[in-house]
Structure 1
Amino acid sequence: MVTDAESQVDGPPIDDEQTDGDDAVGANIDWALAASLGRRIARPGPRVTRYTMDYAHAELAEASRRAEAPVREVTGLADGLPVPAARILDRAGWIDAAATSMPAMLGIEDQSRGVMGKVSGVQAAGLLAFLSSAILGQYDPFSPDAQTGEPGVLMLVAPNIIAVERQLRVVPADFRLWVCLHEVTHRVQFSANPWLTGYMQDNVAVLTSEAGESMGDLVGRISESVRGGRQREKGIIGLMQLLQTPEQFEAFEQMMVLGTLLEGHADHVMDAVGPAHVPTVATIRAAFDKRRTRPQNPLARIMRALIGMDAKMAQYIRGKAFVDAVVGEVGMAAFNTVWTSPETMPTMAEIGEPADWIARVL
């Protein structure tokens, strides 16, 4: 997923409370209400003429197709598979897609319509509205494609891409292809390795399941963690480690590693492909990275903390460093062993020590 510097998250919030016997946390959210309210409170996009917006839609659709061949060539993945069309969305369309994706990811058919579901739906609407102005592109491996019916949809949010390319003052055609290179890499990752979707769903199921702990169990576990000084990866995990069961924390850590690998690989491919296909790639990368790290106002800093954006930015940096190091040492063909199974994925420690992953797996 590519976002501007204001926010980053892989999905809308989920509520902790269980009702109606559902095991999945997301079942207690009225997603229809969340989508409806989110569309109403979302900020309008940049002011553009109909001609400009139509042209942007057409150029993004074409860019997503053009990106496929060089991404496949560099990664060595998904060779020969069909190239599905991207969905070019406005902010309201992205909100609808996100509200559909979450139940699909959680395997939920009947969504909550009770009081708690509506309360949670209102909360989810606020975050969906906020994110709808930040997401540039996203690959959703859970929702079915409208044409093929197969799971997996590449989404590009046209007004947000236009807004950022204006703010950065970069060449629009180049920036649009650059964004597509990142998102198409995600599509290739999942289409070439279908087990990744099930792996994500299994870990999410553990994360959102009813823990069955008493308050005493939770307090005891937190106290033990504090006394033992448990720290993981320089505090990136933070409070999540204290508030989850050991099984949930393991699933959370596996999701963190997967996200770091996916994002780092996409950034590596983006930079590997860019110089040959995006004439102004150096200018775009410099401007985009500067925007990611610029000082934020207090409200923006709070939102970054709440949705975990700083951890996500670390994923791009640490993940790309891991992929750069492994590919530089053994080449892309050997690196692709990482996609074989959960056992060949790096551990959290190996992300920081690529040589250890090479020694264990290769």
Structure 2
Amino acid sequence: MRQLLGGEGGGLSAEQLEQLSQITGQNVDPAMMQNIMGHLKSAFASSGEIDWEQTRRGALHIANQDGLAITTGQRGNLDQAYALATLWLSEATAISQLAAPPRAITRGEWVEATLPVWQELAEPMATSIADALTTALSDQAPDDMQNLVQGAGKLMRGVGGALFAGQLGQVVGNLSKEVLSGGDVGIPLMPDGDSAVLPQNFADLGASLEIPDDQVALYIATRELAHARLFRHARWLRLHVISQVTEYAHGVRVDTDALEDLASRFDPSEPEELRSALESGALLPPRSETQNAALARLENLLATIEGWVDVVTADATARLPAADKIAEAVRRRRAVGGPAERALNSLVGLELRPRRMREAAAMWRTLTSAVGAAGRDSLWDYPDLMPTSADIDDPAGLVARLEATARGDEPATDDIDDAFARLLAGDMPSAATGGETPDGGADPDDEPGSPDDHRPV
């Protein structure tokens, strides 16, 4: 093994392949064996950590397969689309424009820009799979083989992590062929304040709808700018979304029964069965109640964001002849999801298609009609002002509260508000003063000589 794994460049010579064929009594496919040795060498050399560089290489390999570059004409068209979209959005929303100009990017550039967020989202699941695979191997081994298993556990952890990293690279690489812009997935993947469009991808959308590319570019640019403006204005929102996603991801666990069954027959030189289990989602057990609650919160949050973007984009592109047709196509894409989104769901159990987006858009439309764009957009100023799931269900109640606030009416109070108001007014005894009233006198309820006079403080 030292000779096989320690050769120059980690490769096998023709003489080594011939010796291996003689040992096994079978013909050895050089390409297959080099691939196996590469996996084994990487696993032995691994410290047990996930090799995210493997994810990056795999994603870039897929993203750059077509070798398509952004032409000068495409850049010029997008520059014009961005300029017009900026003017239209200034009429549709009170949120200010971006400090940095938007840009047209390739699929490979999208992978490079978004990979840090993908790594953050996928790391809990990758670690869970690697740990569970190692634990399953240790639990199945007899006591007299535990020392051997400890060494093999590193190999299993390395192989499991490498396969997950490679599979995530395929998902991100394939997703780069589907997304239209930086905010198309729904979560803030791009760096803060950055906006981008992938002209390589929306040509197919325009062709399927029989709509000129310049109209598609203008609509996609407007939507992307609205998304980026929102996250730049509400700087707390990015962290809020990412924390909701990671909260859900940390709750994802591996089906140990399925994994133990897989580990009992796992061969590191033939990792296809583990790869297939990762692809199909077979290692993910049914969601727990905690996960369902976290997923519901995440879906409502994404729906609230996407609903606002839908309404603002519709208002801004009202002059665009094919705006409604393009908007419906974009909503269908989000509702159905592409192959890469489905693969991401199988890999980490994360659904990025908010089912309540239409209801959230209806709420924002109601707010716009009632209080105007400025009143609507003011709800993004602070986290505690953002509409809740109950507001999506009852937009009229939210409108009533906003209108009451605009009139200067006092908001309705609850028991906690009333108790806090009494405490501030001095109507309630303070525990820190040992039952004294704020004016320094004794509490009238405490009679002299009573046992309460000697109670410990």
In the alignment, the residues of structure 1 paired with residue 99 and residue 81 of structure 2 have an alpha-carbon distance, to the nearest angstrom, of 12
* Alignment match, 1:152: 193
Is 1:96 aligned with 2:116?
no
Query: Residues 85 and 222 of structure 2 are in contact (CA less than 8 Å); yes or no, is this contact kept in structure 1?
Result: yes
Is 1:326 aligned with 2:370?
no
Code of the residue aligned with 2:73 in structure 1: it is Y
When residues 289 and 312 of structure 1 are mapped into structure 2, their CA distance, relative to the original with a 3 A threshold, is closer
Of 59, 81, 102 in structure 1, the residue corresponding to residue 77 of structure 2 is: 59
Q: CA deviation at 1:95?
A: 2.1
Q: CA deviation at 1:343?
A: 2.4
* Segment of structure 1 superposing worse, 176-185 or 350-359: 350-359
In the alignment, the residues of structure 1 paired with residue 114 and residue 375 of structure 2 have an alpha-carbon distance, to the nearest angstrom, of 35
Matched-pair identity in %? 21
In the alignment, the residues of structure 2 paired with residue 305 and residue 213 of structure 1 have an alpha-carbon distance, to the nearest angstrom, of 14
When residues 188 and 310 of structure 1 are mapped into structure 2, their CA distance, relative to the original with a 3 A threshold, is same
Higher fraction of strand: 1
In the alignment, the residues of structure 2 paired with residue 152 and residue 169 of structure 1 have an alpha-carbon distance, to the nearest angstrom, of 33
Query: Residues 303 and 360 of structure 2 are in contact (CA less than 8 Å); yes or no, is this contact kept in structure 1?
Result: yes
When residues 214 and 115 of structure 1 are mapped into structure 2, their CA distance, relative to the original with a 3 A threshold, is closer
Code of the residue aligned with 1:90 in structure 2: it is T
In the alignment, the residues of structure 2 paired with residue 311 and residue 94 of structure 1 have an alpha-carbon distance, to the nearest angstrom, of 18
* Alignment match, 1:187: 228
Q: CA deviation at 1:318?
A: 2.4
Query: Residues 171 and 340 of structure 2 are in contact (CA less than 8 Å); yes or no, is this contact kept in structure 1?
Result: no
Q: CA deviation at 1:125?
A: 1.6
Match runs of 1:82-121 below 5 Å: 82-103=98-119, 114-121=158-165
* Alignment match, 1:123: 167
Code of the residue aligned with 1:254 in structure 2: it is R
In the alignment, the residues of structure 2 paired with residue 252 and residue 344 of structure 1 have an alpha-carbon distance, to the nearest angstrom, of 21
Structure 2 portions without partners, runs of 5+: 1-47, 131-156, 257-283, 404-457
Structure 1 portions without partners, runs of 5+: 1-26, 145-150, 216-239
Code of the residue aligned with 2:74 in structure 1: it is A
Match runs of 1:248-263 below 5 Å: 250-263=293-306
- Relative to the length of structure 1, the TM-score reads 0.66
In the alignment, the residues of structure 1 paired with residue 76 and residue 120 of structure 2 have an alpha-carbon distance, to the nearest angstrom, of 29
In the alignment, the residues of structure 2 paired with residue 275 and residue 93 of structure 1 have an alpha-carbon distance, to the nearest angstrom, of 31
Is 1:271 aligned with 2:303?
no
Secondary structure of 2:387's match?
coil
Greater Rg by CA: 2
CA offset digits 1:311-339 (Å, max 9, x no partner): 72634422212211222233222222321
When residues 187 and 205 of structure 1 are mapped into structure 2, their CA distance, relative to the original with a 3 A threshold, is same
In the alignment, the residues of structure 2 paired with residue 29 and residue 350 of structure 1 have an alpha-carbon distance, to the nearest angstrom, of 41
In the alignment, the residues of structure 1 paired with residue 380 and residue 108 of structure 2 have an alpha-carbon distance, to the nearest angstrom, of 34
In the alignment, the residues of structure 1 paired with residue 161 and residue 57 of structure 2 have an alpha-carbon distance, to the nearest angstrom, of 14
Code of the residue aligned with 1:339 in structure 2: it is W
Is 1:206 aligned with 2:247?
yes
When residues 331 and 143 of structure 1 are mapped into structure 2, their CA distance, relative to the original with a 3 A threshold, is closer
* Alignment match, 1:75: 93
Query: Residues 255 and 285 of structure 2 are in contact (CA less than 8 Å); yes or no, is this contact kept in structure 1?
Result: no
When residues 332 and 31 of structure 1 are mapped into structure 2, their CA distance, relative to the original with a 3 A threshold, is same
In the alignment, the residues of structure 2 paired with residue 201 and residue 356 of structure 1 have an alpha-carbon distance, to the nearest angstrom, of 29
Secondary structure of 1:135's match?
coil
When residues 272 and 83 of structure 1 are mapped into structure 2, their CA distance, relative to the original with a 3 A threshold, is same
* Alignment match, 2:409: none
In the alignment, the residues of structure 2 paired with residue 282 and residue 205 of structure 1 have an alpha-carbon distance, to the nearest angstrom, of 34
Q: CA deviation at 1:264?
A: 0.9
Secondary structure of 1:261's match?
helix
In the alignment, the residues of structure 2 paired with residue 358 and residue 201 of structure 1 have an alpha-carbon distance, to the nearest angstrom, of 29
CA offset digits 1:23-57 (Å, max 9, x no partner): xxxx9653321121123235855x98x7x833112
Q: CA deviation at 1:114?
A: 4.4
Q: Which has the higher contact order (CA 8 A, sep 6+)?
A: 1
Match runs of 1:330-349 below 5 Å: 330-349=371-390
When residues 306 and 120 of structure 1 are mapped into structure 2, their CA distance, relative to the original with a 3 A threshold, is closer
Query: Residues 31 and 100 of structure 1 are in contact (CA less than 8 Å); yes or no, is this contact kept in structure 2?
Result: no
In the alignment, the residues of structure 2 paired with residue 354 and residue 282 of structure 1 have an alpha-carbon distance, to the nearest angstrom, of 24
In the alignment, the residues of structure 1 paired with residue 312 and residue 401 of structure 2 have an alpha-carbon distance, to the nearest angstrom, of 24
* Alignment match, 2:58: 37
Query: Residues 32 and 99 of structure 1 are in contact (CA less than 8 Å); yes or no, is this contact kept in structure 2?
Result: no
In the alignment, the residues of structure 1 paired with residue 216 and residue 302 of structure 2 have an alpha-carbon distance, to the nearest angstrom, of 23
* Alignment match, 1:163: 204
In the alignment, the residues of structure 1 paired with residue 377 and residue 302 of structure 2 have an alpha-carbon distance, to the nearest angstrom, of 16
In the alignment, the residues of structure 1 paired with residue 247 and residue 169 of structure 2 have an alpha-carbon distance, to the nearest angstrom, of 24
After superposition, the CA RMSD in angstroms is 4.2
When residues 209 and 340 of structure 1 are mapped into structure 2, their CA distance, relative to the original with a 3 A threshold, is same
CA offset digits 1:236-263 (Å, max 9, x no partner): xxxx9963564x6554433222211111
Query: Residues 30 and 121 of structure 1 are in contact (CA less than 8 Å); yes or no, is this contact kept in structure 2?
Result: yes
In the alignment, the residues of structure 2 paired with residue 167 and residue 160 of structure 1 have an alpha-carbon distance, to the nearest angstrom, of 12
CA offset digits 1:119-169 (Å, max 9, x no partner): 21112022112211210012475654xxxxxx3321211110122112222
In the alignment, the residues of structure 1 paired with residue 182 and residue 160 of structure 2 have an alpha-carbon distance, to the nearest angstrom, of 29
When residues 335 and 201 of structure 1 are mapped into structure 2, their CA distance, relative to the original with a 3 A threshold, is same
Q: CA deviation at 1:73?
A: 2.8
